[in-house]
Amino acid sequence: MKLRISEKIAHCEVLGPNKRSVIWVSGCEKHCPGCIAKTYHSSQNGTEEEVADVVRWFLETGDNHLTISGGEPFLQADALNDMLIQIKKVKDIGVIVYTGYKIEELNHPLLNQIDIVIDGEYIETLNDDRPYIGSSNQRLICLTHRYDNVMDYYQSEGRQITITALKDKTILVGVPSRQQYLMWQTMKGWGREDTD
Ligand code: SF4
C-alpha cells in the first residue's frame, strides 16, 4: 500500500504536545478560502511512498508522537490506518490528526488509531488565534485520555510556529496567528520558497 505525502518532518514542537513527527499528506477537495496549505491540495503533489518505508522513517526518528495533517488525511485513510497499525506493533504512540471533515461525517477504522482529532473546514472569518486550531468552528476532540495531563499547558502557550529549512525549501510549520502568517508572507517577498 502507498501513501502520497507532501512533507514529513521529525521532532516538531508546534503541532501538538511533546516532540513529534509530522506528516502532511497530499490531496484535499475542500479548498477552504485562506487555507495556508494550498500546495498540498493536489493529490499529485509530493511523492508516493510505500507505507512500510514511512513506518521505517518514523521509527528511525525516535519520536513517540505523530501529527498527521495535509491535505486531507481521510482521503488516504486506508493507507494511514495500515501505517499506524504497523507502527503500533513496534511502539505505543500518540496520534493527532487534522481533518477538514466533521467527525460525524467520518466512519473509518483510522479513527480507532487516533488520540485527538481537530475537525472541520477552515473558515477565515472565524480565525480567533486559538492554539492548534485554525478557526473557531473547528473542534479539538479527545478520543482517548492520552493527552489529558498536557493539553492545558500547551493550550496556554498560544499559537506557535517554526520556520524549518528542508533540503530544497523552507516551510512554515504550525498553525500561525494572523501576525505570524503576515510575517511569513513578508519573508516570501524576500525570495524564500514556501509550501502554501
Ligand atoms: S480542509 Fe484543511 S487542507 Fe483542506 S482546504 Fe481546508 S484548511 Fe486546507
Tens of pLDDT, residues 12-53: 988 888 899 999 999 999 999 999 899 999 999 999 999 999
Question: 89 C-alpha to center of ligand 1: Å?
Answer: 31
Full domain range(s) for residue 107: 2-159
Residue 100 CA: nearest ligand 1 atom is: 1
Q: Nearest residue CA, atom 1 of ligand 1?
A: 100
- Domain at 54, CATH number: 3.20.20.70
CB-CB neighbours of 52 under 10 Å: 13
C-alpha–C-alpha distance, residues 124 and 155, integer Å = 21
Answer whether residue 187 is part of any domain: no
Answer whether residue 189 is part of any domain: no
Answer whether residue 6 is part of any domain: yes
Q: Nearest residue CA, atom 3 of ligand 1?
A: 71
Answer whether residue 193 is part of any domain: no
The percentage of the chain sitting over the pLDDT mark of 90, rounded to a whole number, equals: 65
C-alpha–C-alpha distance, residues 146 and 166, integer Å = 31
C-alpha count within 13 angstroms, C-beta hemisphere, residue 1: 16
Number of folded domains that form the chain: 1
Answer whether residue 194 is part of any domain: no
Q: State phi, psi for 176 to the nearest 5 degrees.
A: -80, 150
**C-alpha separations of 165 from 83, 170, 172, 186, 193 in Å:** 26, 4, 9, 17, 10
Answer whether residue 184 is part of any domain: no
Tell me what pLDDT residue 186 has. 86
Q: 19, 12 in Cβ contact below 8 A?
A: yes
Answer whether residue 182 is part of any domain: no
Tell me what pLDDT residue 84 has. 98
Whether 193 has a pLDDT exceeding 50, the answer reads no
Task: Spell out which residues line ligand 1, taking CB within 6 angstroms.
Answer: 28, 30-32, 35, 37, 70-72, 100, 121-122
Q: Is 35 helix (H, G, I), strand (E, B) or coil?
A: coil
| Residue range 99-131, pLDDT digits in tens | 999 999 999 999 999 999 999 999 999 988 888
Answer whether residue 58 is part of any domain: yes
Provide the pLDDT confidence category of residue 153 given band limits of 50, 70 and 90.
low
Tell me what pLDDT residue 191 has. 53
Strands (E), the chain: 2-12, 20-25, 47-50, 65-69, 94-98, 116-119, 139-142, 162-165, 170-173
Residue with cell 507505507: 51
- Please calculate the CA angle 138-11-63 and round it to the nearest 5 degrees: 95
Tell me what pLDDT residue 190 has. 65
Tell me what pLDDT residue 165 has. 84
